[in-house]
Amino acid sequence: MPLIALSTLNARYSHASLGLRCLLANMGELQAETSLFEYTIHDRPADIVEQLLAGNPSIVGLGVYIWNAEQSAKVASLLKAVKPDVALVLGGPEVSHELENQAIVRTADHVITGWGDRSFAKLCGRILNGPGPLQKIIPGEQPPLHEIALPYRFYTDEDIAHRLLYVEASRGCPFKCEFCLSSLDKTAWPFELERFLAEMQGLYERGARLFKFVDRTFNLNVKASARILDFFLQRLDGRLFAHFEVIPDHLPDRLKEAIARFPAGALQFEVGIQSFNAQVQALISRRQDNAQAEENLRWLRESSKVHVHADLIAGLPGEDLTSFARGFDRLVALAPQEIQVGILKRLRGTPIARHSADFGMKYNPLPPYDLLCNDLLDFATMQRLARFSRYWEITANSGRFARTMPLVRGDDPFARFMRFSDWLYEATHQTHQIALERLYDLLYRWLALEPASDAQHVHQALASDYAGSGARGAPEFMRAPRKKANA
């Protein structure tokens, strides 16, 4: 029976917690007494507590993140109610800042803020063996990366077969974008490259083919980035997939040469544009050469087979709806395969909070702490943008509407899709659980209502997309192709 239970709630089963495995790898003499317990946010808190306590642990460590904060608070409360003598230790970004008003912090016995690789093991040793008493809030110790044991052997064969493996070649970020927790870092710290690649080789030999790099700035160090890309190029076998977060305005020729050699389906780049408004960028301490970022995105789409996922943030201080719309249209013109429209969040500890008074920024007090309104975007507009984001996700980003989306976007993408978004919500009053066949019918109805719409062209595009989706139903528009959409 483990003395120490390490646990967290992942967003879904396909995510395997890198953080828990980093802690386990660095438990030292207590490693044999430590077990991992991973759950998802969809599991019942009572069931989680029952399983955690079944082994009668002395210590439960719980990783708390923005996506699991509410469920983790329930788990913590239940656990301490049932077994108050178990030492509950919290860690993770959600409990590393602004601790004073968090109920989960009051419930816990100890909280480690920041890095926990070394600090958690030390704390467990003192809880089990003394000396005490111990302070409640423990600033995490940040050792040199070469002193940290790497976690990758703790991915199981089940993880490798069925889950996306999170890996990190570096920690931290040198940039100061105020909406991001990484803005608190002083710089980026790389793991020793050959040591890291040896671990990747070990995973590869065990059958791992899905790698998601959590590095905030993968292409910051071009020499290291190129070496990692070369590592994967030498192991292409038709199943390999690697995801990287890249700086949009930094893509030198050495990287382009490597990127251009990858086949379709092997690479995905998450490219954070966030805003094209130079004044807004300066306000939030974001350094970005917009012209170079555009040139690099254009090269990725025209000269490589990388799947490009680009990010924009709605609600940044100083950016009104007109400015955001211009940025969205500018990004659509560059044709990334996905555009994620995110709503600004005030993550605990981030410097974005300094703008709250000057720009009337009001945030949801509950996770995910999304912006409710500001002096340029009222609550109703932010609600419209949130629906826009969701509907764009289930249509444009889904990949199911490749022929139909150009008809939806037309020559004025933001304005037209916002019209569709407003209409769709009025027609359904839903943002989730819209059946696929119904979504096709709704798109048909809306497109037929648009001025200068060619009903035959709309029907052909939707029918072709539906056939290509692999679905086997019979949407209404296919059963009655000449029926007027608003009949």
Whose tokens are 């798109």? That residue is: 443
Across 247-401, the runs of DSSP E, i.e. the strands, are 267-274, 307-314, 338-343, 362-363, 371-373
The single-letter DSSP state of residue 44 is -
Span between the terminal Cα atoms of the chain, in Å: 66
Q: How far apart are CA 459 and CA 474, in angstroms?
A: 13
Per the omega criterion (within 30 degrees of 0), is the bond before 248 cis?
no
The average pLDDT across 105-114 equals 98
Q: Which CATH number fits domain 4-145: 3.40.50.280, 3.40.50.720, 3.30.870.10, 2.60.40.3500?
A: 3.40.50.280
pLDDT at 1 over 70: no
pLDDT at position 44 = 98
In this structure, whether the domain defined by 155-377 belongs to CATH 3.40.50.300 is answered with no
pLDDT at 16 over 80: yes
pLDDT at 471 over 80: yes
Q: How far apart are CA 339 and CA 328, in angstroms?
A: 9
Domain boundaries, the chain: 4-145, 155-377, 402-487
pLDDT at 487 over 80: no
Among candidates 408, 409, 389, which has minimal Cα distance to 447?
408
**Are the C-beta atoms of residues 133 and 139 closer than 8 Å to each other?**
no
pLDDT at position 483 = 46
pLDDT at 486 over 60: no
What separation in angstroms does the CA of 152 have from each of 28, 160, 169, 202, 424?
16, 11, 12, 8, 45
Please tell me the pTM assigned to this model.
0.94
Among candidates 115, 214, 218, 228, which has minimal Cα distance to 164?
214
Q: Which letter, b or e, does each residue of 298-333 get, where b requires 16 or more Cβ atoms within 10 Å of its Cβ? A: eebeeebebbbbbbbbbbbbbbebebbbebbbbbbe
H or E, element range at 332: helix 321-333
Q: How far apart are CA 181 and CA 345, in angstroms?
A: 11
**Are the C-beta atoms of residues 244 and 267 closer than 8 Å to each other?**
yes
Q: 171 forms bridges with which residues in the sheet? A: 189
The confidence band for 451, taking pLDDT boundaries of 50, 70 and 90, is confident
Q: How far apart are CA 35 and CA 47, in angstroms?
A: 17
